[in-house]
Structure 1
């Protein structure tokens, strides 16, 4: 385990609107506001055909291929994640969310693109005085959090 200590800085409340996309909208906001580290809470609606990464097709493969599901209809959504800058000092969102519709739930990473359906509410709690950063891990190729 690795760890880093931080303090809470600014708190932002965002109302995403119909057609806004996660992660792009949140990452652009973080860049514009110079947010280097944060925790993110999300609740709202996700439009049909939004894409969710639900895990690798083969978790034992040397280069796992992500499995991507498209939402088959408008879905209720709730998620939690983090923002940390990468090696290029660009804020990157890592948000996992659960999407529900008609008794079915899909849970996964939003990195392939979630389109907001009418409204998305996001709370960003900025973390300050931390050295945590996303860096490419040579063994996996993943952009992992280093603290």
Structure 2
């Protein structure tokens, strides 16, 4: 385990609206407000056919290929994530969420694009005074958190 201590900076409350897209909307907001790192909480509705990464494809030994599923209908959702700048100094959101419709639930990463249905509520707790950032891992190709 590696770690970096941080302090809480600004706190932002966002109301996302119909058609706003995760992660793009939050990353753009962070860029505009010069947020380099944060904890992100999300609550709201997700539009039908939003894309969710639900794990790697089975049997992929050399290259990790994500399994992506589309939400079959409008879904209730809740998620938590982190936002850190990458090597290009751009904020990148890593947010996992659970999406429920009826008795079915899908849990996964929002990186492929989740469209907001009517409303999404987001709380961003800015983290300051630390050294953490995302760097590309040559083995996986993922932008991993480095501290």
Give the shorter-chain TM-score range: over 0.9
Q: Partner of 1:29: helix, strand, or coil?
A: helix
- TM (norm. structure 1) is 0.98
Residues 64 and 140, structure 2, Cα contact 8 Å, conserved in 1? no
Residue number in structure 1 paired with 2:66: 66
What SS does structure 1 have at the residue aligned with 2:64? coil
Secondary structure in 1 aligned to 2:106? strand
Q: CA deviation at 1:138?
A: 1.3
Runs of 4+ deviating beyond 3 Å: none
Count of matched residue positions in the alignment of Structure 1 and Structure 2 = 147
Note the residue ranges of structure 1 that are not aligned, 5 or more in a row. Answer: none
TM-score (norm 2): 0.98
Q: Residue in 1 aligned with 2:98?
A: 98
Q: Any gaps of 5 or more consecutive residues in structure 2?
A: none
**Structure 1 contact 58–64 (Cα < 8 Å) conserved:** no
Aligned residue in 2 for 1:31: 31
Rounded to whole Å, the distance in 1 between the matches of 2:33 and 2:44 is 23
CA-CA distance at 1:120 after TM superposition: 0.1
Preserved CA contact (<8 Å) 2:81 2:94 = yes
